[in-house]
Structure 1
């Protein structure tokens, strides 16, 4: 690799007094250096010199992309430590992130090609939207429409070899009840009649898959039933519900082999609305929607998280995607990364609330085994605040120290720089 000896690398003189001051503040407990303060103080590390007016970018492609964006990116002066190419690439990446946010989550994680029959996709989408209880309310309408494509019978059969009925395109297991309000013509009083789901969705279908389903396949308490529903069943039910003005109270129940064919972020959203009754015996049974004040996850083994995906159904909870040989993933609550061995504080003071549905979501992904269990403890709020403060301080200092050292060593390496940190 040939180099040009005549071309000298331009370096900015470092203000070592300011650098030492920042390092002392970063180590200080009484007056810790915050990230915002560091970003303001960092430019002062370098002795100011004559600054040339930045050259205007003449790329028509780049300027046209910026002009078409809904929000123009702020034009920030390029630091001397960053090359022109790197600065331009950073702008492009930032714009890409902005564009993806504007588009929403509809196209993120799309793994399967669209279903070939567009008319059937439209019918299926409208039916899914007609039964809001089948899918969580927090789902974006565009995401709901994509689900109709992802769970088409043909795509699942091709990829996983699952034997599904060809008569429709939707394979769902439901549990719940259907109410019909009737008015007596003589007295004018209203009565509520709970119908068997079989009356609305057709006769009971034998569960061919999976062979061992933990839920009953018969009418049990409160007239609940579990059955398989196809597209034709939903079409017939939609007409009956509209004609008789029925009130539908249904819940989507997961079948693990089917849900495994979904993209991860769709599985997480669906899991929020699924009943999970296989609760370990030692677990305290929580009321639906009751906040867990304190939760600790007990599991032997090491944790390996390969990716994090946002869970929209519980906005402040993110369940990590698990790699091979890993145990349950990390929970990320308002930016606080917590391992399975850490006591998770979910006091409303600093992390918001998390409901029992989160336990279901983890169980849905088959991340829990019979040996794993949840235990709920209630330490004092004072201990929780102290733990949280110590963790934040250590995390902040380590981050700032690394930032200062990395940035300064990029500018100039030598004995003077090393002595500044001694």
Structure 2
């Protein structure tokens, strides 16, 4: 059993009740269908409607816009429980997209989109990444030119989570000069939208229940009031959301690490080899001790970051650290645990194998870990640090 962790202020009885209700719902209503969704390559959009009716989809959205007005901790708990049950990040992306509208939308935009997002009538995606662009969002080429009271969008996006199932997209486009100052964000509903096309649903190493697709924009016309904020503010909008978005990756990392350790303790306690239980070998015990320690440290860090997010004190640097370090530990621990399963660990019918395949993307999406380290280094080595002062 993993050690009990210090309870932060955000971990109150209401959170505990929410977690318990959510875990029971996932186990009874969602998990029995997960294998089928993996085989078909996506979770149907309508699955999230009853999920939303219970307040699980966007609990953090204000009541006047269809949510329940909870703190961001509730969404992080939802992602924790979904990751523990092997669900991909579909609803996390939905939450991120909604927050762009919450933070930068006009009152009319909020009234138009947020209630339908909170009810699950709309499933959201975020169209950022482009072929040849990757994590360098300053280099994006999808262009939106102004034409009277409309924007006309031309370009392509790739690796878009919910790209196949989403019917609302928050899209990063270029409305001005090259670089960050020319980036803007627009919102469009995709149902029967002329010029919009979903390309291939991409086949991935893991995360098989999460649809990831190519998107194409060929003269797509959207009203000018689909713009979030002002032209040229998009890059700043993207950067301001990073602390929360990074935690939406760090929290599932903690959940998966804990699940991997639990699965491995259970397996090694029952499987015998060379006349004894695998769990009785010293190497097994040492490996599990290491993994349990990492699980404890990761969870403690994540819980602290959650408290700081709620307090408004989570800085970008800590969020970057949480993203890269927790996801690195996720991949490391799952790999160590899989090894203790032997050949069975390589069989897809075993959860540890699926956790292994699903984990690898965590070090890439949401900003590659190399980018996270570079951003941290810029802060660490900025003028005024001890190194630059010669001390």
TM-score w.r.t. the length of structure 1 is 0.27
Higher helix share: 2
TM-score w.r.t. the length of structure 2 is 0.28
Q: Highest CA radius of gyration, 1 or 2? A: 1
